[in-house]
Amino acid sequence: MKKFVALVGTNTAKSTNRKLLQYMKKRYADDADIEVVELKGLPIFKKTKEVFIPQQARDIAEKIEASDGVIIGTPEYDHSIPALLSSALAWLSYGIHPLMDKPVMIVGTSYGTLGASRAQAQLRQILDSPELKATVLPSSEFLLGHSLQAFDDNGDLKSATESQKLDSLFDDFLEFVDLTDQLDNSKKLHEHAAATFSWDNGTTGDDK
Amino acid sequence: MVKLVGIAGSIGEQSYNRMLLEFIRNHFKKSVDIELLDINNVPVFNEDEDHNDNPVVHELARKISGANGVILATPEHNHTVPAAMKNVIEWLSNNVHPLNGKAVWIVGASYHTQGSSRAQLHLKQILESPGVNAFVMPGNEFLLSNAKEAFDEDGNLKDARTVGFLDSVMKKFLTFMKVIEMMDAPDPKNSHEEDMDSKHPVNTTVEDVDMTDPEWVEKAAEKTHAATGGDYVKLDRGLLTVDQLNYFLNSMAGELTFADDNNQFIYYNKNADAAHMLAPRTPDQVGNPLSAVHPDRVIEHVKQVLYALRTGESDVVSMPAQTGPNQHVMHYYRAMRDENRRYRGVNELVIDIMPILKYYLAATGQKLVKDPDAVPMSPITGLDAVTGASKHSDPTDATSGASASKSVEKPATKPATDATSGASASTADAAPAAPEEPVDTDALTGASEEPEAGYTAAGDATPAKQPAPEPESSDTDATTGASQS
């Protein structure tokens, strides 16, 4: 059975993205072992001479390394992903590269209609950056709008249309994980780039 | 001087974006005051927490609110803005919104060729979201690539062309800020369109506090984290604490009222109870829209005054209120304008000029007599362009008529001629004997030249054919001269 890490993109107690990820964990329990992982508690990313990485980020990195794929649930703050999630991704590409070539599925919820569409678009761009180079499931937006009303008392999605859509996306993701295993041509290149990457030289266009 | 704040987006130990901002600050220091804000200690944003618990966020919000514009310098991390910068913006788009309507200029430095281009695009998208709602200067992208080689050992940009480009963009940004500041200026097409209900917030309006709340001052102060007590305020020209400002304003020889360009009554120099004021105001009225502090019957007149000041038709409108043998209360409405000549509100001074007049006559040994050649005039000045201004039978207190409706009804104003002659007659009667010694002739030129001309000509060189001189000018001359002697 496949093992996935599901990152909750926000630290708020009332997150509907957490609800969605917990719903997925329960619903797909027969197909995959999904661990919902909190980012709350991670400090804002900061470069230091010692290239210090907080233990919490190291723990998350380890879990991701040991997994077959990552699911990210993101809300939208100011038309983009929360600073906390952005910060987590920076820690997870600071001398360590757990997300490199890792299959990633993006889901997002919002209180309004749009379902974090702009945040998801930015997140794809970010995950494609040289220090991250994750392999994101293409053509697969799951935008859950009006998320406060979307779940019933058991934490299940009320709308059958939405749950069916999520089911088929998740099935795709399971197959995608197998497929990406075969995409190993550029993998060596990425690994090489990651090995020689230096935040000080900014060899990949990154910057202070 | 134009005041900007700059924020470097990364909190790393060394940052070329901070160096870039430091260079910009030093390079423009003669023309622009740029303060760099530190975002190192901003906690991780959490929508469950209240920003009020955090002094660092307070301070950032306060400084940004007080600035004319903001420069953001962003590096690029993972194809986007650094989490540290995004984190600050999240705090500033939740409970407080200091970037709302603020002009923002984005710059960026990076190691290699991209010069933070993708981060700048993300940042624009973020700043334009409804919670932030800043005005990002379009075009004029400033991307400093190869940042490691760009600065000399003194932190100056080496390339003269880059500096020249920076100069040209700063010039555009200064203009952009002016345009943005004008955007929220209320623009009524005629006096009837003056919005007495204050429903057109300007960039100084405190949002989300009920204007009619008796505790408006306290609530708005809390919302804005207003300076109080011993906090210093830098003024043009001087430096005072808030306490000192209060001592100063409360001891003014007159009652002062401030209504802003959204026609909101936001201040008076409270030095007496309403019962002892010439134009009574009460503490709970502060914050009210002008419509709430005026009886309906005077609203149209007030609108005419405001419109004349707002449009620049007049800089001062004056009118008498209570007049009689021992009192001649004048209301002076002065337009307040900013450095772009934008109207920023009305400064109302209410003062009884009779003691000044009596002093003047006594000090110069004169008395008032009727001017047989006097031409009847409107007691109201500064509203010439408004037809029928002179017909106003009730030139009540434009900013505070309300007080009239709430507390004491003011005595009806007499027609111009009555008011003037009444005053002169009574003052003449009451005028004390001339002093033994001649007064300083330099200071009181008019007086010594025309000792018998009466007060209408005595104050300055105003010809006698003008029956009612601007009392303020005589006052000014007399007092200034006196203090010189």
Instruction: Summarize pLDDT for A140-183 with one digit per residue, the tens.
Output: 889 898 888 999 999 999 999 999 999 999 999 999 999 988 87
Give all domains of chain B, ordered by start, each with its CATH number. 2-183 (3.40.50.360), 252-484 (3.30.450.20)
DSSP state of B430: H
**CATH number for the segment(s) A2-196:** 3.40.50.360
Confidence grade of residue A194 (pLDDT, cut at 50, 70, 90) = low
Q: What end-to-end distance do the CA atoms of chain A give, in Å?
A: 41
pLDDT at B335: 97
Question: Rounded to whole angstroms, what are the CA distances from B61 to B47, B56, B67?
Answer: 17, 9, 10
Binding-face residues of A in 103-132 toward B, CB within 8 A: 118, 122, 125-126, 128-129, 131-132
* % of residues, chain A, pLDDT over 70: 91
3-class SS of residue B327:
strand
Asked if A83's CB is within 8 angstroms of B90's CB, the reply is yes
Q: What is the pLDDT of residue B11?
A: 86
pLDDT tens across the length of chain B (485 residues):
899 999 999 887 778 999 999 999 999 999 999 999 999 999 999 988 866 678 899 889 989 988 999 999 999 889 999 999 999 999 999 888 899 999 999 999 887 666 678 899 999 999 999 999 999 999 888 888 888 889 999 999 999 999 999 999 999 999 999 999 888 889 999 999 999 999 999 989 998 899 999 999 999 999 888 999 999 999 989 999 999 999 999 999 999 999 999 999 999 999 999 999 999 999 999 999 999 999 998 999 999 999 999 999 999 999 999 888 889 999 999 999 988 789 999 999 999 999 999 999 999 999 999 999 999 888 899 987 554 444 444 444 445 444 433 333 344 443 333 333 333 333 333 333 333 333 333 332 333 333 333 333 333 333 334 344 444 433 333 333 344 43
pLDDT at position B113: 64
Ordered by start, the domain boundaries in chain A are: 2-196
- A201 interaction partners in chain B (CB closer than 8 Å): 111
Whether B14 sits inside 8 A of A122 (CB atoms) is no
- What's the pLDDT score for residue A197? 62
According to DSSP, the residues that pair with A8 across neighbouring strands are A38, A73
What's the pLDDT score for residue B339? 81
The answer for B 417-456 residues in CB contact with A (under 8 A) is none
Q: Tell me the C-alpha to C-alpha distance, in Å, between residue A7 and each of A38, A177, B85, B89.
A: 6, 17, 22, 22
Closest CA to A82 of A126, A136, A113: A126
Helix (H) or strand (E) segment spanning residue A170: helix A160-182
Across the interface, of A46, A80, A207, the residue whose CB is closest to B110 is A207
Chain A hits for B110, CB-CB cut-off 8 Å, are 202, 205-207
Predicted structure pTM score: 0.72
Q: Where are the beta strands (DSSP E) in B67-167?
A: 69-73, 103-109, 135-136, 142-144
Q: Chain B contact for A45, CB < 8 A?
A: yes
Q: 68-97 in A: which are within 8 Å (CB) of B?
A: 77-80, 82-84, 86-87, 89-90, 93
Of B42, B75, B127, the CB nearest to A207: B75
Contacts of A131 in chain B (CB under 8 A): 78
Of the candidates A80, A131, A205, the beta carbon closest to that of B125 is on A80
**3-state DSSP assignment of residue A184:** coil
Regarding predicted confidence, which is higher, B113 or A102? A102
Q: In this predicted structure, what is the pLDDT of residue B148?
A: 85
CA distance A47 to chain B (A): 5
